[in-house]
Amino acid sequence: VVGKGVVVVEGVVVVVGVVVVVVVGVVVVVVVVVVGVVVVVVVVVVVGVVVVVVVVVVVVVGVVVVVVVVVVGVVVVVVVVGVVVVLVVVVVVGLVWFGPGARHLLYTQYGRIAPVPSSEDTQLRPATDAFLPHGGALALRNFLSVVLESGSPPQIFALSLDILLKEHQKNNVRRDMPEVAPRTAVESQEFEQVATVLHSPADAGTDYARQLSPPETEAETIDG
């Protein structure tokens, strides 16, 4: 009986040992699995956070690059446009005040600058060519150009034209040019008077124009 009892006890111990080993093995497997899952989850989360951070950095850098490009482009465009505008203004002002365009300006009776025909203007050339032949037409245009460039009032321009046409009627087209006939004494005096009036106030030019105009009749005076 004693021998059988020892065998039974040993069998129980073996069974208990096997159970313990199995339980411990199961626990170890469970722990390993749990730890592995946790590690995987942590790694995934960390990697995801890193990816999100990288994406955010890329987006921010992209936005900054776009903003810098746009700002630089706007600045370049503004600078280029500004330089072009300044150049255009400088060229226009230079041509108007110092270049050939200066002869196209004349002060009006209101004190403003207004465009007038120049010596080479197509509106003036046919008229002078019709009145004066050959060198006379060129001489007339040259003289009228001087009148315009002197900044004289409009009535002096009309007065000069009237004197020049009267001179043409007397077959004398000299305008201080050696290739045409000399002026008579009366014509020389008229030109000296015009040259004096060109540098006089507008009122003096108006008075001189009235002296050369035909006398008014009594009816015209009343109507006027």
Q: Which tokens in the block code for residue 169?
A: 């009627």
The pLDDT-based confidence of 100 (bands split at 50, 70, 90) is very low
Q: What distance in Å separates the CA atoms of residue 144 and residue 64, rounded to the nearest whole number?
A: 65
Domain extent, residue 112, equals 107-214
Residues 113 and 208 in one domain: yes
Distance (Å) of CA 67 to CA 53, 55, 59, 75, 78: 21, 18, 12, 12, 16
Phi then psi for 119, rounded to 5 degrees?
A: -65, -20
219 occurs within a structural domain:
no
Percent of the chain past pLDDT 90, that is, above it, reads 26
Q: pLDDT (tens digit, 9 = 90+) per residue, 163-194?
A: 555 555 554 444 444 444 455 565 556 555 55
Minimum mean pLDDT range among 58-67, 99-108, 187-196, 211-220: 99-108
Residues 120 and 35 in one domain: no
Residues 75 and 170 in one domain: no
Q: Max alpha carbon distance in the chain (Å)?
A: 178
224 occurs within a structural domain:
no
Number of domains present in the structure of the chain: 2
221 occurs within a structural domain:
no
Which residue, 54, 69, 98, sits at the end of a domain?
A: 98
Residues 112 and 210 in one domain: yes
Residues 120 and 143 in one domain: yes
Cβ neighbours around 137 below 10 Å, total: 20
Query: What sign for the dihedral angle of Cα 191, 192, 195, 196?
Result: negative
Residues 1 and 57 in one domain: yes
Which residue, 98, 133, 158, sits at the end of a domain?
A: 98
220 occurs within a structural domain:
no
Which residue, 98, 116, 145, sits at the end of a domain?
A: 98
Residues 143 and 210 in one domain: yes
Residues 2 and 90 in one domain: yes
The pLDDT-based confidence of 134 (bands split at 50, 70, 90) is very low
Residues 1 and 85 in one domain: yes
Kindly report the pTM of this predicted structure.
Answer: 0.30
Residues 115 and 82 in one domain: no
Q: Which tokens in the block code for residue 81?
A: 């446009």
Reduced to 3 states, what is the DSSP secondary structure of residue 132? coil
